[in-house]
């Protein structure tokens, strides 16, 4: 820490981003007596601001250049399409509530196992994270879960229900805070509308604004939404100046400047890594950042397949976002995902799912599928309500190949991807295709994928990780095992970009647990000031 007095700064800590890393850091630092500010580029959304379906693009999508300031963004890279959340609460607004603990291989991965005994150290923090997020085993069993269980039994694979961050209670009934001895907000029992990933309009999903952020604000946290950080500059004598733009539109945006002794980057891979890459190129910014910045980008090696059924008798949209799991082997699993009734936007981006690594082969097979089954193809394209009559399948595995993200050569150009190590990410995974076809048979359906997957074999992920990975020096990492940035005292990275191995499962709980651990290593403000006065 620098020697500058605490009261010479606007804040002790400024946190960039309000997702799982930023929200945890905010609450724990405020509890330790620090003055904390969270800066979030997205909006602060209430129930009325969430779309009823994903056809309401202005409320759903984050595309501020054309005035869309919703909660969901899609970024297209050469090697992967990334889905992410934006807004106060970050990814918790759009994630599927699912909170699994990774298998042992994640903790023992050579990429970071030498830095700490991760399984042992994180165990109590996983427990805390699940308690704070209100995680419970899914108590529901829907027709989709029944189909998934049938396929699991037919293929002799384990079937399970995930822990989910949902308040079930009595459907539609609002009760006083059931989680934090009355300190938290009222909650309402889940009505199984299937709208978890569009933003919960019924006060049932345990998003971060209902727990970590809510409690932090009660304890004095300052939070500024619609505020995008553009610069972080070291100050003479220690600490940092943070430069941001505040406002809903370009014409109304104004410059805001804050100072803090410490800064935590918690804006995820799309936010933290891109901002840090720009700051590394800025002589007034953070030019001493490790050259490993942007490397070791991972996904969960996913395949995303939508099975559109031909039958119109049963509503498959009822339930929570993810209610069941097939554990296909030690390294992979399959989850059914749903959107609420009326949400069919993705069908505008889909094409028949086909196998094959070669793009020419895949295109030929796609054309062949349409030619052989023109009526079924038209019927699927004209499905009156895709959410009601389809099952989205998310297949994940823990294989380990990595990408590298870099800025374009032109000033202000956004990040691009390059292959770094291992096999190139692929949307063509034979086991995922085989399971999709089995599930298709159950609902008289046909498998579809995003056109980028079918035509280009570019996979889609909601779990982009890495880019600010851990190491024992700046030569092999951006941060150390305590999340401290090499070369800059008082800088931290605490979000998905700091995850240094492939968890192979939905990573939100792991990001939360890592943030809890990082905060447990920071002393209280009183203890820190006492140690300074003694020295």
Residues forming a β-bridge with 397: 332
pLDDT at residue 400, as a whole number? 67
In a domain, 186, yes or no: no
pLDDT at residue 1, as a whole number? 38
pLDDT at residue 4, as a whole number? 60
Mean pLDDT of 205-232: 98
Mean pLDDT of 245-271: 93
Mean pLDDT of the chain: 94
* CB-CB contact of 293 with 386 (8 Å): no
In a domain, 415, yes or no: no
Contacting residues for 425 by C-beta, under 8 A, at least 6 apart: 79, 80, 299, 301, 401, 403, 458, 459
* CB-CB contact of 394 with 432 (8 Å): no
Confidence of residue 381 (pLDDT cuts 50, 70, 90): confident
In a domain, 320, yes or no: no
Place of tokens 């890495």: 466
pLDDT at residue 46, as a whole number? 95
In a domain, 142, yes or no: no
What is the rounded CA–CA span in Å between residue 530 and residue 510?
33
What is the rounded CA–CA span in Å between residue 386 and residue 343?
7
In a domain, 446, yes or no: no
pLDDT at residue 234, as a whole number? 98
- Radius of gyration over every alpha carbon of the chain, rounded to an integer in angstroms: 23
CA dihedral 163, 167, 170, 172 (to 10 degrees): -130
With DSSP H G I counted as helix, E B as strand and the rest as coil, what are the percentages for the chain, rounded to 5? 30, 25, 45
Q: What are phi and psi of 15, to 5 degrees?
A: -110, 125
Count of structural domains within the chain: 1
pLDDT at residue 2, as a whole number? 40
Collapsing DSSP states into helix, strand and coil, what is residue 361? helix
Mean pLDDT of 334-360: 91
* CB-CB contact of 465 with 236 (8 Å): no
pLDDT at residue 397, as a whole number? 87
Neighbours of 466 (CB within 10 A): 28
Mean pLDDT of 329-358: 91
pLDDT at residue 410, as a whole number? 60
User: Per residue in 290-302, pLDDT tens?
Assistant: 999 999 999 878 8
Structure tokens at 470: 């851990």
Sign of CA dihedral 349, 350, 355, 359: negative
* CB-CB contact of 124 with 130 (8 Å): no
Confidence of residue 382 (pLDDT cuts 50, 70, 90): confident
Question: Active-site residue 483, yes or no?
Answer: no
Q: Looking at residue 76, which CATH number applies to its domain?
A: 3.50.50.60
pLDDT at residue 331, as a whole number? 87
Place of tokens 């419970």: 136
Q: Is the predicted pLDDT of residue 138 greater than 60, yes or no?
A: yes
Q: Is the predicted pLDDT of residue 92 greater than 70, yes or no?
A: yes
Collapsing DSSP states into helix, strand and coil, what is residue 199? coil
In a domain, 44, yes or no: yes
Mean pLDDT of 100-113: 95
In a domain, 140, yes or no: no
Confidence of residue 6 (pLDDT cuts 50, 70, 90): low
Q: What are phi and psi of 439, to 5 degrees?
A: -70, -35
Neighbours of 118 (CB within 10 A): 23
Measured CA to CA in angstroms, residue 104 lies from 101, 123, 159, 495 at distances of: 9, 12, 19, 21
User: Per residue in 431-440, pLDDT tens?
Assistant: 999 999 999 9
What is the rounded CA–CA span in Å between residue 237 and residue 217?
30
pLDDT at residue 297, as a whole number? 96
Confidence of residue 5 (pLDDT cuts 50, 70, 90): low
What is the rounded CA–CA span in Å between residue 135 and residue 506?
14
User: Per residue in 170-184, pLDDT tens?
Assistant: 999 999 999 999 999
pLDDT at residue 311, as a whole number? 84
CA dihedral 405, 409, 411, 412 (to 10 degrees): -20
Query: Percent of the chain at pLDDT above 70?
Result: 98
Q: Is the predicted pLDDT of residue 341 greater than 50, yes or no?
A: yes
Q: Is the predicted pLDDT of residue 56 greater than 50, yes or no?
A: yes
Mean pLDDT of 509-526: 98
In a domain, 152, yes or no: no
Q: Is the predicted pLDDT of residue 425 greater than 80, yes or no?
A: yes
Terminal Cα-to-Cα distance of the chain (whole angstroms): 13
Query: Minimum mean pLDDT among 42-56, 330-344, 403-417: which range?
Result: 403-417
pLDDT at residue 534, as a whole number? 80
Residues forming a β-bridge with 407: 415
Which domain, by its residues, includes 232? Answer: 8-48+67-133+206-300+463-535
Q: Which residue has the higher pLDDT, 90 or 253?
A: 90
Catalytic residue among 163, 463, 481, 483: 463
């Amino acid at each position: 820490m620098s020697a500058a007095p605490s009261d010479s700064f606007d804040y002790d800590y400024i946190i960039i981003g309000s997702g799982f890393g930023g929200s945890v850091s905010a609450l724990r630092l405020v509890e330790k007596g620090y003055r904390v500010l969270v800066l979030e580029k997205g909006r602060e959304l209430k129930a009325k601001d969430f779309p009823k379906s994903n056809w309401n693009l202005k409320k759903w999508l984050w595309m501020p250049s054309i005035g869309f300031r919703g909660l969901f963004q899609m970024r297209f890279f050469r090697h992967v399409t990334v889905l992410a959340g934006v807004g106060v609460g970050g990814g918790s607004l759009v994630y599927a509530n699912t909170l699994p603990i990774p298998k042992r291989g994640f903790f023992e991965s050579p990429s970071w196992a030498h830095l700490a005994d991760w399984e042992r150290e994180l165990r109590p923090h996983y427990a805390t994270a699940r308690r704070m997020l209100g995680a419970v085993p899914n108590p529901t069993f829907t027709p989709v879960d029944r189909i998934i269980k049938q396929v699991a039994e037919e293929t002799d694979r384990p079937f399970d229900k995930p822990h989910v961050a949902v308040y079930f209670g009595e459907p539609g009934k609002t009760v006083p805070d059931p989680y934090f001895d009355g300190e938290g907000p009222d909650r309402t029992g889940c009505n199984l509308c299937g709208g978890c990933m569009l933003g919960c309009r019924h006060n049932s999903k345990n998003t971060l604004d209902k727990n970590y952020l809510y409690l932090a604000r009660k304890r004095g946290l300052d939070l500024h939404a619609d505020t995008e950080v553009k610069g972080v500059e070291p100050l003479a004598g220690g600490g940092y100046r943070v430069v941001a733009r505040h406002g809903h539109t370009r014409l109304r945006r104004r410059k805001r400047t804050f100072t803090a002794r410490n800064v935590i980057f918690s804006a995820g891979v799309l936010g933290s890594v891109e901002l840090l890459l720009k700051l590394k190129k800025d002589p007034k910014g953070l030019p001493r950042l490790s050259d490993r910045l942007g490397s070791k980008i991972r996904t969960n090696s996913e395949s995303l397949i939508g099975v559109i059924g031909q039958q119109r008798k049963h509503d498959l949209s009822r339930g929570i976002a993810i209610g069941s799991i097939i554990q296909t082997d030690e390294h992979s699993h399959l989850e059914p995902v749903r959107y609420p009734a009326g949400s069919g936007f993705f069908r505008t981006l889909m094409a028949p799912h086909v196998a094959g690594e070669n793009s020419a082969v895949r295109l030929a097979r796609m054309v062949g599928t349409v030619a052989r089954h023109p009526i079924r193809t038209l019927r699927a394209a004209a499905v009156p309500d895709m959410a009601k009559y389809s099952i989205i399948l998310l297949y994940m595995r823990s294989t380990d190949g990595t990408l590298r993200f870099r800025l374009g050569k032109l000033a202000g150009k956004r990040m691009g991807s390059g292959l770094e190590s291992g096999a190139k990410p692929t949307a063509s995974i034979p086991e995922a295709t085989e399971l999709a076809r089995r599930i298709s048979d159950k609902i008289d359906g046909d498998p579809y994928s995003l056109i980028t997957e079918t035509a280009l074999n570019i996979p889609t992920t909601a779990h982009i990780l890495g880019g600010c990975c851990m190491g024992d020096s700046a030569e092999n990492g951006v941060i150390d095992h305590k999340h401290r940035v090499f070369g800059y005292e008082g800088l931290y990275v605490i979000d998905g970009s700091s995850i240094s191995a492939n968890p192979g499962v939905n990573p939100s709980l792991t990001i939360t647990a890592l943030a809890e651990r990082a905060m447990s290593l920071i002393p209280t403000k009183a203890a820190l000031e006492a140690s300074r006065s003694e020295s």
